Structure 1
Amino acid sequence: MIQIEELKEKVLAGYQLSYEEGVELYHAKDKEALYRAADEIREHFCGNTIDLCSITNAKSGRCPQDCKWCSQSRHYATQVEEYEVVDRKEAVDQALVSASKGVKRHSLVTSGRRVYNKTLDQLIPIYKEIKEKTNLSLCASMGLIDEGQLRRLQEEVGIEHYHCNLETAPSYFPEVVSTHSIEEKIITIKTAQKLGIKVCSGGIIGMGETAEHRVELAATLAKLGVHSIPINILTPVEGTPLEGSEMLPEEDILATFAVFRFMNPKANIRFAGGRIQIKSYQHKALRAGVSAALTGDYLTTTGSKIEDDLRDFQEAGFTIDN
């Protein structure tokens, strides 16, 4: 039988859990003990602060990739809004609102396999204006970006973080995407890290994967040394292959947060897409290892209002890291 307290003490002392130990933890019968231990690990390594970030959908739709969950794929008939590049004033205004409410970091996110230089030329001035008008730390999420483009973002606008989700376990990835590989994503992550850029990378749960797949993803991210791990809960989109997916039970979602914390003790385990679905027990997740949140609206779905998040997190005993 897995000894939760014993493993917690080992993690606090610097031990890295194995995949096998992570699977045992996930299936531990005493889930409340698992959540409590994950919360103690979070407090030890991350304190009682919540790291907030926000995003702007800077290029929407028309994506040639076939990710089965995504409303922006041109392979599926969805009602997503399509545009090549976001209006500059609109993007800057969104960032200004986030900064005024205490958000720490902001990202421009583009649809597609990778960002083209023509698009990057249009986005860099947006970043520059955001940097001139706010104290926001800047992030980018632009697919399988190359080293030269990353250097431009780093040197011209001071990008500090790059986001590239692995999405799911390496062994399950081909079940949900066929137009690119997880190995390409890992190359992107390592390229960013080589340049000294911190990486945000997580995944989506509830896409038909097993508990073992979720632990495999957590172990892969630990091996990569990822700084921030957003955990998205699938929001089934009409028209996509996953439109009929059932939401995971509460216990599975909370166990995922907890095991990710055990296996990535120093990382920011981040609320991300689909969080509105767990509002009724969000407070439990906050005490199961979570230390960060993507706040405001997401790419093509409604998120949680920044004001509501500030209130909820502070009522739960956290301060906002800004």
Structure 2
Amino acid sequence: MATDVRKLADEIIDGRRLEEGENLSFLLSADLEELRQGADRIRKHFRGEKVDLCTIISGKEGRCSENCRFCAQSAHNHTGCEVHDLLDAEEVIAAARANQEEGVDRFAMVNSGRKPTEEEFEKIIGIYTRMRDELKIHLCCSLGFLTSEQFRRLKEAGVTSIHCNIETSLRNFPNVCTTHTFKDKIENIRRAQAEGLSVCSGGIIGMGETWQDRIDMAFTLRELGIRSIPVNSLMPIKGTPMELLPRLTEEDIIRTICIFRYINPEADIRLAGGRSLMADNGRSAFSSGASSSITGNMLTTSGSTIRQDREMLAELGRDTTPDWENRSRGCGEKRPQA
């Protein structure tokens, strides 16, 4: 007998949790519209109508030592991507201020490379200290593999969230990267968490993984206690080993978002790279369990402007007022930090 996914959604709202090792094949064959309805009910119950918007700036680009097979910035790939050293403080702070003025919740500097040099790290600390002192927007960063002391110093400088994708499942990870391991990723996340930082972690679908890999990834993120899960859809980039992979269908993307919502009911499921693979740049995803998004100009894939996203979400009845603005007005409780 087929599982009623709408009834299952109500059970999840009432406290049931899907378990790793449980037969979840019904999620792959369930009627997509019924699955979407269930995922959206779960989203509404646990995350409400607030949509968390974050933006990123490429602080350092290109020449990355890691051999991630999807990435334009890896020195192992031949993509002709832009290359630049760490941006100066004024440029980063100006971008953060502009995003704050457009009503974004969170701003992140994303750097290529396994980790910053000591000189780069000190410069980054200075940039974040200034943003902490001069701005209200929440601060995040993605800097690769850091020590506990470095995470502690970032927190002291005003960073509240660290981004570190696990990319895929444990089984599939060696097909994606071999210069670092899945275990390296997990240990990095746990170091950040141990220093009191929230972690934003998800991955990329469409890299040749199976549906079981996607399910396993969702469970790993739940086990890690991740509350902000970006779901990226691969946009194959010429010059990478994955350039000839077929592009995902919108149905596959939506079903994946739904599955992540059923497995991680309390997390923010964040619509990220590859939105252009969906009609209306992902509008339907926000009625399928997605509760947050990366917006603005992304690293390697185009996205909507902040204004376009806020207008679209307003049409859907969603609230994009940033948490820091509500807090500065003294309006109600602050939603849990992603």
TM (normalized to structure 1)?
A: 0.96
Cα pair 1:106 1:136 within 8 Å, conserved = yes
Aligned to 2:328: none
Residue 126 (structure 1) shift = 1.6
Aligned to 2:280: 280
Range 79-88 or range 218-227, more displaced: 79-88
Cα distance in 1 between the residues matched to 2:185 and 2:23: 23
Aligned to 1:106: 107
Cα pair 2:53 2:104 within 8 Å, conserved = yes
Residue 164 (structure 1) shift = 0.3
Cα pair 2:200 2:230 within 8 Å, conserved = yes
Q: Secondary structure of 1:160's match? A: strand
1:211 aligned partner, one-letter code: W
> Are residues 1:254 and 2:232 paired?
no
Residue 133 (structure 1) shift = 2.6
Cα distance in 2 between the residues matched to 1:237 and 1:22: 35
Pairs within 5 Å for 1:109-188 = 109-155=110-156, 157-188=157-188
Which structure 2 residue ranges, 5 or more long, are not aligned? 323-338
Residue 219 (structure 1) shift = 0.8
Residue 20 (structure 1) shift = 4.6
The structure-2 alpha-carbon separation of the partners of 1:297 and 1:78, relative to structure 1 and needing over 3 Å to count, comes to same
Aligned to 1:89: 90
Q: Secondary structure of 1:229's match? A: strand
Cα pair 1:204 1:232 within 8 Å, conserved = yes
Cα pair 1:11 1:262 within 8 Å, conserved = yes
Deviations along 1:91-131, one digit per CA (max 9) or x if unpaired, are 11111111001001111111111222211111122212222
Aligned to 1:79: 80
Q: Secondary structure of 1:14's match? A: coil
Range 276-285 or range 244-253, more displaced: 276-285
Cα distance in 2 between the residues matched to 1:15 and 1:143: 35
Pairs within 5 Å for 1:25-36 = 25-36=26-37
Residue 284 (structure 1) shift = 1.6
1:54 aligned partner, one-letter code: T
Range 181-190 or range 279-288, more displaced: 279-288
Range 189-198 or range 252-261, more displaced: 189-198
Q: Which has the higher contact order (CA 8 A, sep 6+)?
A: 1
The structure-2 alpha-carbon separation of the partners of 1:26 and 1:96, relative to structure 1 and needing over 3 Å to count, comes to same
Aligned to 2:290: 290
The structure-2 alpha-carbon separation of the partners of 1:19 and 1:25, relative to structure 1 and needing over 3 Å to count, comes to farther
Residue 28 (structure 1) shift = 2.8
Deviations along 1:183-224, one digit per CA (max 9) or x if unpaired, are 110001111111111110000011111111111110110111
Cα pair 1:64 1:112 within 8 Å, conserved = yes
Cα distance in 2 between the residues matched to 1:300 and 1:90: 20
Q: Secondary structure of 2:278's match? A: helix
Aligned to 1:270: 270
Which structure 1 residue ranges, 5 or more long, are not aligned? none
2:239 aligned partner, one-letter code: G
Aligned to 2:217: 217
Count of paired positions: 321
Residue 159 (structure 1) shift = 1.1
What percentage of residue pairs aligned between the two structures are identical? 40
2:183 aligned partner, one-letter code: E
Deviations along 1:33-85, one digit per CA (max 9) or x if unpaired, are 11000000000000011001111111111111100000000011112111220
Q: Give me the CA root mean square deviation.
A: 1.4
1:188 aligned partner, one-letter code: N
Residue 6 (structure 1) shift = 3.1
Residue 300 (structure 1) shift = 3.2
Residue 303 (structure 1) shift = 2.3
Pairs within 5 Å for 1:41-56 = 41-56=42-57
Residue 5 (structure 1) shift = 2.7
Cα pair 1:163 1:199 within 8 Å, conserved = yes
Q: Secondary structure of 2:72's match? A: coil
Cα pair 2:5 2:30 within 8 Å, conserved = no
Cα pair 2:93 2:131 within 8 Å, conserved = yes
Cα pair 1:230 1:272 within 8 Å, conserved = yes
Range 293-302 or range 140-149, more displaced: 293-302
Cα pair 1:78 1:240 within 8 Å, conserved = yes
Q: Secondary structure of 1:76's match? A: coil
Cα pair 1:2 1:24 within 8 Å, conserved = no
Range 225-234 or range 83-92, more displaced: 83-92
Aligned to 2:17: 16
Cα pair 1:22 1:259 within 8 Å, conserved = no
Aligned to 2:71: 70
Cα distance in 1 between the residues matched to 2:50 and 2:22: 28
